[in-house]
Amino acid sequence: MGRHQAGSRSVGAILRGVGLVLAVALVAGAGWYALHRDSGGQDGASCPTTLRVVTASSFTTVVSAAGRELRTGPDCVLLDVTSADGRPAAGQLGQVSADVWIPDDAAWATIAPPGQLVATDKDNQAKRDTGAGQTLATTPIYMVTDGPTANKIKGGEGGGWWALAGLLNNKSSGVRMVVRDPSLSGDGLVAAGAVGEAVWLKQGMDASSLALNSTLAATRTVNHDLAATPDVAGEVGLVPEYALLPIMDLAQNRTYLAGADNTALMRYTWLPTAAAARDPERVAALQKLLTAFKSPAVQDAMNVAGLRTPGGPRPEFEGGDALPEPTAKPFDVLQSHHVQHVFATWDPEDRRSNLLIAVDIAGATTGSGSGGSTPSGGPAGKQPPIEVLKAGCRVVGDLMPVGSRLGLWEISPGQPGGYRKLLPTDRLDDTSRAAFTRSVSTLTTHKAGAGLLDTIVAAYQSVRDDWHDDMFNQVFILTDDANKDSANAQAVATMVQKLKDLQDEERPVTISIVVLGKKDAADRLKTALSTLGAGTYVDNAQSGEDVQAAFIHVVAGGLHE
């Protein structure tokens, strides 16, 4: 057992439990709280600097240990620590004028207000001075389940997160996922993100959106428990190692999987604020705190907390050897758009958009391959493209929350401007949602003719002029390009120039275009629109599933990488 005697381990478990319970209280509306103020019996005035630290509840005991290393001597530093988890933690940075944020995963940096943290994506003096972006501790996430369910996962392709995603999307598998709320905990965000990442790596972004949306129906989300442990056979709890270690002696008939394809890894990350980086005195204090995390006493505190030092072994806990050692390459840190996909899946408010959909389908879309395959919900040709698009539009209407804005246009050659407004963009409520559904049912095919390019410009201008700062502002175009507008290089160039003229940095609008069946047309439009910079997305759909995935992607914010 080494230094981890039974008594000290119980104390560590109690401290972790207290931190997690307090975090839940924060989520429930108790607000932020100061968990710890290191004074060490000294008069605070005797220390020249007090650093304000915001950190995850599972890391507070480690920060406290670092504080004890710093609070003596002529150049002592005091720590004023606020414990906060998940999305609420980002709001605390400004509230307490934080000098550094130590969240339980690096992905949380994507939700901080722009410019608030020292940039870690490129080399700069502030990053070098403060050590921004360093990983202080890690903890892997395990799949915790019963033996038969574990065998299903191990028997699936890859034997890991990809296999789990497939089982969750198979209604007949009997497999369900248990996860903490991704917006309120790092283990929830990283665990849910791992399921999405496994699909993203195999099949791409749109498929990941579709898989996450389907997964939610097979998920039990918890925000009141200390860990997302399974209750019944068939459930797969996604639990971080630090939460498992103290309860290993209580576990019965459980099987633990680390993921054979990838490792889901939480990374406790050092994120100084830009304001602190501009103050030499605070930079010096931050450097001392960062160094303190390497001291033996703080390293020991990490072990007691059940956390690994970067690259270090599993902490010694009784029964811990029952956990398999993760050997697969860790998933990359979730980037901004990946995080948004997870949030939009779990929280309807993250699907709030000002969205205008324009549909362009000619009646003669047939054939196969890149020249014009017919997307369908099943085998090719079983469902006309217009019916696939109607189904996709209904998905949007169902997924977008009340308070969003939604409009529907139909490209119609011969009409003024090349389109007709089936439903002007309006605030979404029960009445307007029903009107949208009725409008979707009136969508029809048309003869091939001009109108697509002019409609894209008109739709963009409409959304820009009706821009709302509390939601995503988007144009979503679905076309079979029957008129071969994409092949008219001059007309496409004219459209792009008009869009450039309409762009407004203060009112950004995302354009998403999905071309049915014709990859060559999608590639031409993608190349042309790439000159607009960020905010454009063009893809090709070869199946009904592709179309549905594109709709869900747009509902998730329409962003892309």
How would you write the pLDDT of the chain (561 residues) with one tens digit per residue?
333 333 333 333 333 333 433 333 333 333 333 333 443 334 445 888 999 999 999 999 999 999 999 998 888 999 999 999 999 999 999 999 999 999 999 999 999 998 999 999 888 899 999 999 999 999 999 999 999 999 999 997 778 999 999 999 998 999 999 999 999 999 999 999 999 999 999 988 878 888 888 898 899 999 876 789 999 999 999 999 999 999 886 667 899 999 999 999 999 999 999 999 999 999 999 999 999 999 999 999 999 999 999 989 999 998 898 999 999 999 999 998 899 889 988 988 888 899 999 999 886 443 333 333 333 333 334 667 888 888 888 888 888 899 999 999 998 887 888 899 999 999 999 999 999 999 999 988 888 888 899 999 999 999 999 999 989 899 999 999 999 999 999 999 999 999 999 999 999 999 999 998 888 999 999 999 999 987 888 888 877 777 777 777 787 765 544
Find where tokens 């933690």 sit: 89
Instruction: Return the exposure string of 493-510: e unless at least 16 CB atoms fall within 10 Å of the residue's CB, then b.
Output: eebbebbeeeeeeeeebb
Residues 6+ apart with CB under 8 A from 509: 460, 463, 464, 467, 473, 474, 475, 535
Hey, which bits of 114-218 come out as E strands?
135-145, 176-180
CA 462/CA 456 separation, integer angstroms: 10
Nearby residues of 411 by Cβ (< 8 Å), 6 or more positions away: 358, 359, 360, 418, 419, 446, 451, 452, 455, 479
Residue 338 vs residues 88, 328, 529: alpha-carbon distances, Å? 19, 21, 22
| CA distance linking residue 48 with residue 328, whole number of Å | 46
pLDDT at 357: 94
* Whole-number pLDDT of residue 465: 96
Rounded to 5°, angle at Cα 222 from 216 and 227? 120
Here the tokens at position 350 are 């993250």
Which pLDDT belongs to residue 210? 82
Predicted local confidence at residue 427, as pLDDT: 94
Architecture in CATH of 6-138+266-334: 3-Layer(aba) Sandwich (3.40)
pLDDT given for residue 557 in this prediction: 64
Q: What is the pTM of this model?
A: 0.81
Q: Ramachandran region of residue 361, left (φ > 0), alpha (ψ -120 to 50) or beta?
A: beta
Region of residue 367 (phi > 0: left; psi between -120 and 50: alpha; otherwise: beta)? left
Kindly report the length of the chain: 561
* 347-555 under CATH 3.40.50.410, yes or no: yes
- ∠ at Cα 222 (215, 135), nearest 5°? 85
**Residue in this structure with the two tokens 């576990």, named with its chain if needed:** 251
**115 Cβ contact partners less than 8 Å away, ≥ 6 residues apart:** 274
Indicate the SS3 state at residue 142. Answer: strand
Give the pLDDT score at 37.
Answer: 41
96 closest CA partner among 308, 346, 283, 273: 273
